[in-house]
Amino acid sequence: MSGVSYYTEEGLKKLKEELAHLEQVERPRVSQEIADARDKGDLSENAEYHAAKEEQSLLEFKIAKLKNVVASARVIDESQLDTSKILIHSVVKIKNTANGMEFSYTLVADSETDVRNGKLSVNSPIGKGLLGKKVGEIAEIKVPNGIMNFEIMEISR
């Protein structure tokens, strides 16, 4: 089992809904596809059957992985979190010291990541580099292109 991941109630609810959809909708659909393909005769030359079996294998892997994530998920009471430093579920405003561009991100668990909507994984290079920092500090973060420096402008929930 992987380590504990922290989620908002909304994030955990979405994970559980996705798991339920996979188990209650997708699994029966794939099973039906296998049955339909099996009814067509010789399985050794039946491409539909082999494709459906492959899809079933991938689906079962995805379900098992998602069950593992849900089992190790914990909901955070955000009212109990320290706002003086960056933690998971912190909303941070940072400024790139090289070009002066400002960004706002919410640090979230991997499965809630959505960079287009400002949700950055705590396990990403930038997310890891920001954790524990306070307003006014400079986060020196190693990224694939080298080192970036971000000034912490604001922390909120």
**CA atoms of 48 and 10, how far apart (whole Å):** 38
Q: How many Cβ atoms sit within 10 Å of the Cβ of residue 88?
A: 20
pTM: 0.63
What number is the average pLDDT over the span 21-29?
Answer: 94
Q: Can you give the residue ranges of every domain in the chain?
A: 5-75, 79-156
Q: Which run of H or of E encompasses 152?
A: strand 146-156
What number is the average pLDDT over the span 134-148?
Answer: 89
* Model confidence pLDDT, tens digit, residues 39-49: 887 777 788 88
Query: Would you state the pLDDT for residue 81?
Result: 62
Which range among 5-9, 20-24, 153-157 has the greatest average pLDDT?
20-24
Query: Would you state the pLDDT for residue 58?
Result: 95
Query: Would you state the pLDDT for residue 79?
Result: 65
The residue among 67, 83, 56, 70 whose CA lies nearest residue 7 is 70
Pairing mode of beta strands 5-7, 73-75: parallel
pLDDT-derived band of residue 1, with 50, 70 and 90 as boundaries? very low
Assign domain 79-156 to its CATH architecture. Roll (3.10)
**CA atoms of 99 and 154, how far apart (whole Å):** 18
Considering only CA atoms, give the Rg of the chain: 22
**CA atoms of 95 and 101, how far apart (whole Å):** 6
**CA atoms of 19 and 13, how far apart (whole Å):** 10
Question: 5-75, what's its fold?
Answer: Helix Hairpins (1.10.287)
